[in-house]
Structure 1
Amino acid sequence: MNHKPVIAFLCTHNACRSQIAEALARKYDSSFTFCSAGTTPESRIDPTARRLLKTLYHIDMEKMQTPKPLSAIPRPDVLISMGCLTGCPHMGRPFDEDWHLEDTAGKDEKVYLEVIREIDDRVKKLIRQLHRECP
């Protein structure tokens, strides 16, 4: 039985950065299971993030994703932190990577765009790395 590796993006609220990472990863590659979650999920995805991903990448996060608690995702093979300053989620093991991304909450659109570009670069790099490790 082949196991499709699970890559999880975690943050506190699962409303912006981790959702962006999940959406971009799904857009770029279907050979892995990408998901996201948070310790205290918001009730909806950040509207600015949702709008920008739809404009820049034609991804409608509202149709395919919702904020989720940690218990709602499968046990991950690769665990990525978005860079929580306090209260970072814990899944029973250390993170494979901590991306130390700036929190966009309360920031202007310029910050969102910078963070989205950084997530895009990191997701592409992660996918290349995963394919080298899991051919």
Structure 2
Amino acid sequence: MTALPTVLFVCVHNAGRSQMAAGYLRALGGDAVRVLSAGSAPADRINPVAVAAMAEEGIDITAEVPSILTTESVAESDVVITMGCGDACPIFPGKRYEDWVLDDPAGGDLELVRRVRDEIRERVTALIAELGAGRSLG
């Protein structure tokens, strides 16, 4: 892993789960980690319910734009976290891959999105500890 680890979050639409995970890692990881997110079939905008759920946590993801998964983004990442995108993610030797099985918040109400958000926060917090990066989570 490089001195400044790069983490890529991937889901199908890059509009919910991967954007929430990236938002948490940016907020909690600070300058100790580089964060990327992408989708195998990106939506045209971020899920507004995911935006609302993250705003409750004080994290603003309104400026984020869903982007397409590229081979280059995987190649430059140290850790690749997939969330329901199947085998769309290219595999490179020497990378750490994890698949986070999470409900898809697309079309879900705020309660569902909150549950997914909270599970993502727990996983991101654990990832930060494993990477030895981040700010105080107190």
| TM score, norm. by length of structure 2 | 0.82
How many angstroms apart in 2 are the aligned matches of 1:89 and 1:4? 26
Deviation >6 Å, runs of 4+: none
Q: Percent identity?
A: 36
Gaps of 5+ in 1: none
Aligned to 1:112: 113
Please state if 1:48 is matched with 2:49.
yes
> Residues 13 and 95 (structure 1 numbering): CA distance in 2 closer, same or farther, change over 3 Å?
farther
What does the per-residue CA deviation read over 1:47-68, in whole Å, with 9 as the maximum and x for residues that have no partner? 00011111x22222113x2111
How many angstroms apart in 2 are the aligned matches of 1:14 and 1:102? 14
| Matched residues, number | 127
DSSP 3-state at the match of 2:132: helix
| TM score, norm. by length of structure 1 | 0.84
Aligned to 1:67: 66
Gaps of 5+ in 2: 134-138
Give yes or no for contact 1:10–1:89 (8 Å, CA) kept in 2. no
Aligned to 2:103: 102
How many angstroms apart in 1 are the aligned matches of 2:131 and 2:3? 14
What letter corresponds to residue 109 of structure 2 in structure 1?
A: D
